[in-house]
């Protein structure tokens, strides 16, 4: 599995790997807890917009970026109302084919369009790596019928697709798990992984979908980040657990070779890495683009990095923390400023565990 991740396979690369999250899918009949996607707010890329984006991609390649993953979202691709239209759109498919891999996500709860979509993906994405990520409701991990349905529908769809090289990652939305009937179980990462790990190749990724909410308060953001920070800190405190864990904030080299941006309505947005990539369309996240030139994006990133270092002294722990450079690289201090906190957002004990395998014990707070 490690070789499937750019940061593992290519961590000694002399260029960046570029991921773009395309916000283009509309429509979803589900009301998943913790989901803040605006289900009808996306607009497809028009002919002029697609041509402009291809010019930007050429500029990226000239600036030593290699297109790696194109995420196509934000809704369930098996139920979105425009999935088929998008994958029949030659201009959009031309953009996707500049990437090494296309990533989709689904709940596998409604597979009525499975035949048509599987046939279309097989035709239009041949020769490109494909991953289909599974969104799991944390509150239903004790529901055997629910888990069995996910497993059966996934197996059936992949059979229709006719590919045996499709990978999958497990996704759980972050919300107030204390409002569920099993809050004590949802604090136990090990237990959750044992319940659902058979549904995908790696372990659970935590999606801060609340970042999409333009009205997300500082207090609510901090509660959500504390929830996952505490979960990792309390669970990942051994070599054994650190070894099987895959969370993107884990190895400090992860962000050194990858860059990701969110693309919506002709605009590009900065995407910090808080365990998983953070999606927000607040004004401060927008990357100013006057043309189709990657140097503008590099200038934005350089400014954000310098501002984070300059403001590290204002934070409770950042200035003397051994993870400061990694947090700056991932935009963590940018997030702290955006949501008005001086307090550390990340699971430092888990970070020590993942990066000190074979030399534990882990420092305790």
pLDDT in tens, the chain (365 residues): 444 454 444 444 567 889 999 999 999 999 899 999 988 888 888 888 999 999 999 999 888 888 999 999 999 999 999 999 999 999 999 999 999 999 999 999 999 999 999 999 999 999 999 999 999 999 999 999 999 999 999 999 999 999 989 998 899 999 999 999 999 999 888 788 889 989 987 778 889 999 999 999 999 999 999 998 988 888 765 545 555 455 555 455 555 678 899 999 889 999 998 888 899 999 999 999 888 889 999 999 999 999 999 999 999 999 999 889 889 989 999 999 999 999 999 988 877 776 665 444 444 44
> Is-above-0.85 flag for pTM?
yes
The answer to whether residue 361 sits within a structural domain is no
Closest CA to 19 of 77, 59, 78, 60: 60
The predicted pLDDT at position 238 comes to 54
Q: Which residue from 66, 54, 58 is spatially nearest to 6, judged by alpha carbons?
A: 66
Task: Report yes or no on 363 lying in a domain.
Answer: no
At 346, which CATH number? Answer: 3.20.20
243 domain-assigned: yes
| Structural domain of 70 | 2-355
- As beta bridge partners, residue 207 has 173
The pLDDT value given to residue 169: 87
Residue 286 inside a domain? The answer is yes
Non-local CB neighbours of 161 within 8 Å, separated by 6+ positions: 118, 121, 122
Residue 153 included in any domain: yes
75 belongs to a structural domain: yes
SS3 track for the chain: CHHHCHHHHCCCCCCEEEEEEEECCCCCCCCCCCCCCCCCCCCCCCHHHHHHHHHHHHHHHHCCEEEEEEEEECCCCCCCCCHHHHHHCHHHHHHHCCCCEEEEEECCCCCCCHHHHHHHHHHHCCCCEEEEEEECCHHHCCCHHHHHHHHHHHHHHHHHHCCCCCECCEEEECCCHHHCCCCCHHHCHHHHHHHHHHHCCCCEEEECHHHHCCCCCHHHHHHHHHHHHHHHHHHCCCHHHHHHCCCCCCCCCHHHCEEEEEEECCEEEECCEECEECCCCCHHHECCCCCCCHHHHHHHHHHHHHHHHHHHHHCCCHHHCCCHHHHHHHCHHHHHHHCCCCCCCCCHHHHHHHHCCCCCCCCCC
309 inside domain: yes
Contact status, residue 272 vs residue 249, Cβ threshold 8 Å: no
Q: CA 77, CA 315: separation in Å to the nearest integer?
A: 40
If one counts the domains in the chain, the total is 1
**275 within some domain:** yes
């Amino acid at each position: 599995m490690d070789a499937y991740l750019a940061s593992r396979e290519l961590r000694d690369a002399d260029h960046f790997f570029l991921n773009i999250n395309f916000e283009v899918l509309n429509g979803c009949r589900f009301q998943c807890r913790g989901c803040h996607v605006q289900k009808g707010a996306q607009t497809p890329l028009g002919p002029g917009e697609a041509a402009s984006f291809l010019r930007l991609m050429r500029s990226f390649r000239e600036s030593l970026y290699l297109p790696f993953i194109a995420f196509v979202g934000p809704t369930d691709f098996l139920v979105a109302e425009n999935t088929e239209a998008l994958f029949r759109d030659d201009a959009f498919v031309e953009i996707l084919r500049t990437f090494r891999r296309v990533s989709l996500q689904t709940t596998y709860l409604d597979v009525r369009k499975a035949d048509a979509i599987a046939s279309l993906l097989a035709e239009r994405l041949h020769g490109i790596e494909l991953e289909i990520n599974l969104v799991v409701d944390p509150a239903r991990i004790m529901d055997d019928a629910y888990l069995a349905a996910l497993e059966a529908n996934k197996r059936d769809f992949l059979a229709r697709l006719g590919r045996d090289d499709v990978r999958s990652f497990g996704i759980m939305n972050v919300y107030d798990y204390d409002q569920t009937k099993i809050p004590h179980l949802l604090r136990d990462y090990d237990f959750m992984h044992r319940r659902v790990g058979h549904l995908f190749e790696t372990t659970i990724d935590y999606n801060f979908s609340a970042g999409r909410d333009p009205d997300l308060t500082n207090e609510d953001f901090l509660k959500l980040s504390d929830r996952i920070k505490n979960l990792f800190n309390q669970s990942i405190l051994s070599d054994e657990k650190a070894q099987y864990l895959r969370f993107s904030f884990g190895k400090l080299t992860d962000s050194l070779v990858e860059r990701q941006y969110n693309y919506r309505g002709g605009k590009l947005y900065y995407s910090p890495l808080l365990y998983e990539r953070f999606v927000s369309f607040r004004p401060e996240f927008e990357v100013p683009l006057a043309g189709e030139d990657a140097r503008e994006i590099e200038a934005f990133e350089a400014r954000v990095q310098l501002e984070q270092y300059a403001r590290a002294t204002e934070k409770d722990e950042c200035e003397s923390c051994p993870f400061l450079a990694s947090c700056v690289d991932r935009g963590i201090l940018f997030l702290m400023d955006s949501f008005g906190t001086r307090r550390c957002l990340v699971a430092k004990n888990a970070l020590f565990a993942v990066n000190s395998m074979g030399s534990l014990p882990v420092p305790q707070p």
